[in-house]
Chains A and B, each alone.
Chain A
């Protein structure tokens, strides 16, 4: 499944149309197509355009050493409550981060939800996957302080792997009197990844350059998991734990003889864990998270009766601590420090962000990063020389229009 690269004209028209809609329609978000006595349709949309500039490496986008605008997200959603306790919501999405996304529009979520009570509800369809503080809104710029979230957890290129699934989700909140409350979500379904998505590019990055190596596609994988939040008796403090298990996830590649064995099918299970803490006190927000997954893939040769030629894998760990302060309606300042490491590389990142809410419908952010290591570059072709110890800088600027 190869996607078609959008032309610059198409990008410009798409961007201009949504930008104009956002700027002009700040309050025009509710319509009554079935009459004023019937439930209204609620519309919202946003468009985010970023700019990335780095000193030493090309990171996230293809040519950030010279500055890159390959950092765009566009979304539009509609929801309705057609019957008591029932809600339907749909969101379309398009994005471009380096060589991932490429403005191909897709259905981000399309779900129907029924809430039996505060304690239990169910939603089904294409849903966003809950994990930690930001996973379900990892690409919604206006819903956070920072331009870039800690990339070891919320990789901007990996949203097709981490953001959603097709399946069902049970959710609810349980009061525990003096002990606070528990909020939970438990889900099961399938994850479909794009053959030109971020994970595909990552797997491709591990192959010899074409024409010797070729990436041939990703399997659709079953997944189940959940997110638990304990809203503690201390006002504003919540603690969370998330777990997910992706079974028999795999991908196909080819390394042509005599350089390799030909067609290879790599497949394995992927358990993921994430632990979170968030404390909101007046205009301050403090956050900390830890994330890890463990993929051990077995490499089979289909042409030889699925003969196992060895394993490949990844067991990275990432943590971060963050703090932000809202000074007034205009200005919020945030900072975080994050460390990523796997068996072969690391990447540390200290970030400082200034967020300006210029209007209700217009957010502007400027963010500086000091990084050490290159463990998350994941793009050998654009970075032929890498040092895992030297420090380097990145500037990230982003603006979002929404309604």
Chain B
């Protein structure tokens, strides 16, 4: 079981729990604003952009090749950007903090 904190609109913190699937679907299932996941989680739409907290980046890991390229569609991507449909929910990411890029 992994506990994940989403920071929405840069201030509201929402703690959710999950044990499988990807982080985008976990966010959608928990009504996290700003995570759309229009393509259903196949790294095709760049609507699930999060900034991983610096302290957690190693735990979450780097973006893959196509993911990194897709992030170029985002104007505000940083070194800590990920498309969260490409992050697996597992014990390995327990406790991480993700800031949703899109403010709503």
A binds B: no
- Enumerate chain B interface residues (CB-CB to A < 8 A): none
